[in-house]
Amino acid sequence: MNDPALPTLHGRPPTGWINDPNGCSRVDGTWHVFYQHNPHGPTHADIHWGHMSSPDLIRWRTEPIALAPRPGGPDARGCWSGCLVDDDGVPTAVFTGISGDDRPSTVLARSDREARVFTREEPPVAGLPRDPALTDLRDPFVFHVGGRRWAVQGAGAPGGRGEVLLYACDDLTDWQEIGTLLASDHPVVVDVAAADIWECPNLVQIGEDWVLIISLWKLVDGTHSLHGVAWVVGDLSASGDAPPSFIPRAAGRLDEGDAYYAPQALAVDDRVLLWGWSWETDHGSARLAAAPWQGVLTYPRELDVVDDRVVARPATELVGLRTGAADLESLPAAFEVVAGGARVGLTLDGVACWPEGRDVSRVFVDGSLVEVFFGDGGTLTTRAYPGPESRWQVTGDLVGVQVHALGL
C-alpha cells in the first residue's frame, strides 16, 4: 500500500482492522502477540484473533488467523480480548467470547507449541458475574501469586461503576468467582479511573509492588467512549488458601496521548513488557475513507515503578531498528529522536505533535504513529498523518540530540 501514514515496522496485518493486543507471550524463545482483528475490512466487526510472531521483538511475521468466530458457538459474534497461558506446557488462549445474543463468556482454546493451531474447549469456564448490576464482563487476565493461579476480568455496566473481578482458576477449566478486587469509586482511584466499565485489566508484579492496569469505558451522551488507561500501584496480599486482596496506594494515567488504549503486559525475564493499541484520529478524512486498514499496536515498552509511580521506557531491543543517521532536512518515514532530556519538539507540516516545554528522552515515528518518552518516565502516544509531500521537523535545542533512521 502506497500510504505514507501506514506504520510499517510495528507488525500489523497488511489490511483490515486491528485493536487490543492479546495473548502477549513467549513460547520456546519466540515472542507472540495476538490482537483483535477484522480480516475482512477496516471496521470493528467480525472480530478474530490475528497473530504475529518475532524472534527478537523487532522483526515481526504475520501468522495465520488464530481464532475465528464460530456460528452457533459462545463466540459467534466475536473472539474478544484475553491472554495466553502456559497450562502444563500447553499454550492456552483464555478470552471473551460474544454469543449470538450478545452474552459474554470466558472461553478456552488449546494450541500447539507454535501457537498456530487452536482447538476450543467446551463449555465456557465463566459467564456473567453473580451481581445482576454487572451487565458487562470481559478481557480475562491470568496471574500467579502465593503458589496459586488466579484471574481478573473487567466488569461494569453503562451508568454504573467499573470493577475488576477476581477468580480462582488453579484448574483452568474450573473457575470460581471470588468477588470484586477493586472498583472505580475507591478513593485512591476515583479521580483518575472513574468509568462505567473497566476493560482489559492487567495485574503484574514489578519489583516489590503490584500494578493494576485498567482501560476506561464510559457512556457519554448515549454513546460509548474510551477514556484512556490508568495504573494503580499497591500491595497484593496472599496467604494460604485465602484469596488475594489488593490495597491501592497511588494511581495515575498510563499515557498522556489521545490515541492509546487496551494495553497488555507480559512479565518475563525480570521485566514487564507492555503493548498498547493506537487508533486512528483523522476521522472524516479522505485518507481514512480510502484506507483498507485501521489501527496499529505500539512498540513494546518496559515498565518500572519509581516512588509509587509507573514509568516506561522503550524496550531495549528497539535499538536494533537503527540503520544510520537521519537527514534532519528530509526525515524518513520511520525515525527515532534520542534527546537525552533536552526540550525538543516535533512538527509535521508545521503542526506540533505535543505541547513543548517537557524534557524528552526519546521519540519514535513510524508512518503516522508518534510515541514520545519523556524524561520523567511518562509517555504520550498520538497520531500525525503525513501526505506524499509532508515534512517532519525536529525543533528546539538540538545540541547533542541524535536522530536515527529506522528500518529492517
Domain ranges of the chain: 16-317, 321-406
* Tens digit of each residue's pLDDT, the chain (408 residues): 689 999 999 988 889 999 999 999 999 999 999 999 999 999 999 999 999 999 999 999 999 999 999 999 999 999 999 999 999 999 999 999 999 999 999 999 999 999 999 999 999 999 999 999 999 999 999 999 999 999 999 999 999 999 999 999 999 999 999 999 999 999 999 999 999 999 999 999 999 999 999 999 999 988 899 999 999 999 999 877 789 999 999 999 999 999 999 999 999 999 999 999 999 999 999 999 999 999 999 999 999 999 999 999 999 999 999 999 999 999 999 999 999 999 999 999 999 999 988 999 999 999 999 999 999 999 999 999 999 999 999 999 899 999 999 999
Question: Which sign does the torsion angle of CA 357, 360, 365, 371 carry?
Answer: negative
Q: Which CATH architecture does the domain made up of 16-317 adopt?
A: 5 Propeller (2.115)
Residue 102: left (phi > 0), alpha (psi -120 to 50), or beta?
left
Compute the CA torsion angle 393, 318, 270, 234 (nearest 10 deg). 20
d(CA 341, CA 147): 42
Amino acid at 283: H
Q: Which fold has domain 321-406?
A: Jelly Rolls (2.60.120)
Q: Which residues contact 408 (CB under 8 A, 6 or more apart)?
A: 9, 58, 59, 321
Q: Beta strands 293-294 and 16-27: pairing type? A: parallel
